[in-house]
Structure 1
Amino acid sequence: MNRIDQIFAKHAQNGTKALMPYLTMGDPDIQTSARLIHAAQEAGASICELGFPFSDPVADGPTIQASMTWALEHGIKAKDILQMVAENRSQLDVGLVAMVSYSIVHKIGDGSFIKDAIDAGIDGFIIPDLAYEESAKVRELILENGGILSFLIAPTTPDARAMEIAKASTGFIYLLARAGITGEQSDLPPDLAPRVEKLREISELPITVGFGVSTDNHVRQVVSVADAAIVGSAIVRRISEARERGSDAVVQATGAFMSDLARGLTRAPEGCEASQ
């Protein structure tokens, strides 16, 4: 059983929920990225999304775009990320999911990238610019090598298409809390709960929610209806704000924030329309 499947099965057995932080690899540098993954684990995260920097990300807002630009300008390569994962995998229990553009996968070679990533210790993939209709080859390669592939479902996705995407996904379903690009928001949409419930009617996969999840109370709201909360821009912003103070400051500030987010896994949501 894939590590992602094991993690969600354990949460289901224990009646608990998962925190999934997103981290841009190479921001501020790959050594600090490794430390941040360890900090996420210590904070209570179950799975980390590892963002592979790309010059033209399709779903990321200005915070993550700026983070990717920093990493690219400082020379980060996919091979550096996989080497770091391989060096740290034995010390980590968290699941590792690559958030990666298909342009990167295709440039390296579908089979080569997927095999190298899974051999290094990557458990799964989110490829936001790969439509599920065109994913058969990549999906087969990932499954053959023991990985999982999750697709995004947006609020604007028609029901029939959402059903097909859910069927094509393995490991978990990634439900966007809102349409558009990533970024921090003050509130989550009130229709989140019914959208989660509709997906539960068509799939037994765990449902994760991201895009706009920014605070511990957002985490509380999300996990009151879904299986995991994904937080990206709010974490990346804290990395960029601490960057000039050095690696220790980045890890300390970001680790503390992730610990705050993890507290939302166990407390009742405050003012949560999504839980009604």
Structure 2
Amino acid sequence: MSKIADAFKNHKAFIPFITCGDPDLETTEKIVRAAVDNGADLVELGIPFSDPTAEGPVIQGANIRALAAGTTTDKIFDMVRRLRVDITIPMVFMTYANVVFSYGAERFIKTCADIGMDGLILPDLPFEEKGEFEPLCMAHGLDLISLIAPTSEDRIATIAREAKGFIYIVSSLGVTGVRSAITTDIGAMVDLIRANTDTPCAVGFGISTPDQARAMADRSDGAIIGSAIIKIMAEYGKEAPQKVGEYVAGIRAGMDCH
């Protein structure tokens, strides 16, 4: 049974995204703990990559800073081992297929499972090509998370039927980043997903305020926030954990008030 479902059990899930290694892994570890202490239900950890095609300038910048600081996949694995001593909520990696290939897909996925990760998101992996990774993920008990975008249209039902863990709904066309308004008909996408699967779905790309998070969570099972958190990390550096904690607490409160 997927542990990721636990994140959606009691209320709408809040899922922060954190690029590992920006400004360093010691700070990343503290940021994850601050997010968990302040109400995160599932954490997405970004493994930095030199060409993150789905990301806007904010997260691209974080990737560049993390790589410049000497962040490696193995060092991130070690950080997760430390977090898993006492952090029990589900955690997933978000990275690019190239990172997995260059590490060795079997070794990467087995290590993810061994250190206690629950899932893997590869935004540049087309649904039609997931066969390269899904059998390995299934063999090691890792959920390969599917993304559904506004352009998925005819494929939404198919993707939903085969989805594992949770479904990542991409709210807007283009790359990640803070948006003043989200105009996609999320409700229609969610209705189609729910007609085809019980797998929970959460909305990401462009959410930054408690009101936006609540609006997206009201239409789905949760909200994912990345760029707004990365901006705090970029601004405060090693002092970011407390600020991220305060931000997460505000989002959680906003999602919980009705």
**TM-score normalised over the length of structure 2:** 0.97
Residue 164 of structure 2 corresponds to residue 170 of structure 1: yes
Deviation (angstroms), 1:263: 1.1
Structure 2: any 5+ residue segments left out of the alignment? none
Q: Which structure would you say has the larger RCO, counting Cα contacts within 8 Å and 6 or more residues apart? A: 2
Q: Secondary structure at the match of 1:90?
A: coil
Output the CA distance in 2 between the equivalents of 1:219 and 1:28.
26
Corresponding residue of 2:130: 135
How many residue pairs match? The answer is: 258
CA displacement at 1:135 relative to structure 2: 1.3
1:64 match: 59
Q: Secondary structure at the match of 2:64?
A: helix
**Whole-angstrom CA distance in 1 between matches of 2:44 and 2:125:** 17
| Counterpart Cα distance in 2 of 1:206 and 1:189 | 22
d(CA) in 2 for partners of 1:31 and 1:168?
A: 37
Alpha-carbon distance between aligned partners in 2 of 1:17 and 1:90, rounded to the nearest angstrom = 26
Q: CA deviation at 1:164?
A: 2.1
Q: Deviations over 1:188-207 (max 9, x none)?
A: 22522222112211221101
Counterparts of 1:245-264 in structure 2 under 5 Å?
247=238, 249-264=239-254
Runs (4 or more) in structure 1 with deviation over 2 Å come to 5-8
Does 2:95 align with 1:100?
yes
Q: Does 1:237 align with 2:220?
A: no
Q: Which whole-Å deviations, capped at 9, do the CAs of 1:165-190 have from their partners, x for residues lacking one?
A: 22332011111111110000112225
Residue equivalent to 1:227: 221
SS of 1:135's equivalent in the other structure is helix
Correspondence for 1:184 among 168, 175, 178? 178
Q: Deviations over 1:127-177 (max 9, x none)?
A: 111112111131111111111111111111122x22222233201111111
Q: Which runs of 5+ in 1 are unaligned?
A: 269-276
Cα distance between partner residues in 1 of 2:207 and 2:169:
12
Letter in 2 for 1:77: T
The two structures have a TM-score, normalised by structure 1, of 0.90
RMSD of aligned alpha carbons:
1.2
Q: 2:139: which partner in 1?
A: 144
> Percent identity over the alignment?
37
Distance change in 2, residues 1:190/1:107 (3 Å): closer
Identify the residue that residue 209 of structure 2 maps to in structure 1: 215
Matched, 1:198 2:188: no
